[in-house]
Structure 1
Amino acid sequence: MNTLVIISHPSIDKESRLNASLKQAIVNQSDITINELYKEYPNGKINIEREQRLVEQHDRIIFQFPNYWYSYPPLLKKWFDEVLQSGWAFSGEHKLEGKELGIAISSNALPEDYRFDGQHRFTIEQIMAPFYATSNIIRTKTLPIFNTFSELVTSEEDLQKHAENYLTYIRTNYNFERKL
């Protein structure tokens, strides 16, 4: 399965040890294409046709980004707004129908912070509800979220293991058959 990983982090190589290590784990994989939005579009002007072509050429699309106030970084939000056009992604043609979409989200927190009795009072899955709604409207299959809680990844060994887990997540064959 060919996979497109869309990385949306404004300073991944300078400020994000964690996201940089995830990127490093996938950088030389022949079945994975990396598209770094902030490097590709430093002026914020997205080439819609290029992005649509990239998405059409891949079976699985993973969005890798840090949690920005319970949402996506601004350029990724703009990507969703501009690339997933009516008539192409929904309401007419459904060019992404049947493709698999996943999220690799990093948070500067602990897993217990993301529950009803925790600091944030919502799970990551609840916070990412707009992603699930988008996946539904464009008729894609949603993969489980790959969570990274930076408070749990502190040593170099932790970082390496988590990066290996990320590669495994990207390559896992999820069963989407309905069970009656």
Structure 2
Amino acid sequence: MPQRILLILAHPAQRRSRVNAALRAAAAELEGTTLHDLYEAYPDFMIDVDREQALLLEHDTVVFQHPLYWYSCPAILKEWLDLVLEHGFAYGRAGTKLSGKGWMTAISTGGTGHAYSPDGLNRHSIHDFLRPFEATARLCHMRWHPPFVVHGTHLLDGAALARQGAAYRQRLLALRDEPELAAAPGHR
């Protein structure tokens, strides 16, 4: 049975991000996928927790698409995580509402892949920087899927953007149609 995907977009300058626009376009017409742009829905950052929790309950897998900002996520997504994944809903003794749902992070970085290596500029792998998200997924009893990462976004030409969009669409299709396969390490 196909999985329903909630694609949560969090980019404060979406119109200026060529890569996030390409990824969004690749997912836009994908059946079974709901696109939810947090900056569009909440320009005042006043997040409707009940609405967001209802959206989570209606879907099987959540994909968080955002740029890597200061080794984390944009402010609105942090606010969303703080408010929506509350005790008694997402975690804690009675917080089992997200148990078994999938979690995938789709991020873009300005730095190259080498910059996110032990001998690179950032001294850590991209997976090291994503550990707090993985820990959050595990606390909520969600299935962590390997991230979809686009490095060196400012270096990508139109053809490279199209390839990334196609790869992202394939990854979302795998999450939708074969979630166990999509959870395999190294799947891109």
**Contact 2:27–2:172 (Cα < 8 Å) also in 1:** no
- Number of aligned pairs? 176
Question: How far apart in 1 are the matches of 2:130 and 2:58?
Answer: 25
Counterpart amino acid of residue 27 in structure 2: I
* 1:52 counterpart SS class: helix
Match of 1:112 among 111, 114, 117: 114
Structure 2 residue 131 is the aligned partner of structure 1 residue 135:
no
Q: Please give the TM-score of this superposition, normalised by the length of structure 1.
A: 0.94
CA drift at 1:30: 2.0
Partner of 2:170: 168
**Same amino acid, percent of matched pairs:** 33
Question: Post-superposition shift, 1:161?
Answer: 1.1
Question: What is the CA distance between 1:9 and its match in structure 2?
Answer: 0.3
Distance in structure 1 (CA, Å) of the matches to 2:40 and 2:89: 25
Which residue is equivalent to 2:4?
2
Match in the other structure for 1:75: 76
CA contact (8 A) 1:4 1:60 kept: yes
**Structure-to-structure mapping, 1:1-180, within 5 angstroms:** 1-13=3-15, 15-91=16-92, 92-151=94-153, 154-172=156-174, 173-175=178-180
The root-mean-square deviation of aligned C-alpha atoms, in Å, is: 1.4
Distance in 1, matches of 2:56 and 2:103, equals: 10
Report the alpha carbon displacement of residue 52 of structure 1 after superposing the two structures with TM: 0.4
Bigger mean CA offset, 58-67 vs 163-172: 163-172
Which structure 1 segments of 5+ residues have no match? none
Find the aligned partners of 1:106 and 1:123 in 2 and give their Cα distance. Answer: 14
Q: Give, in whole Å, the separation in 2 of the partners of 1:50 and 1:152.
A: 35
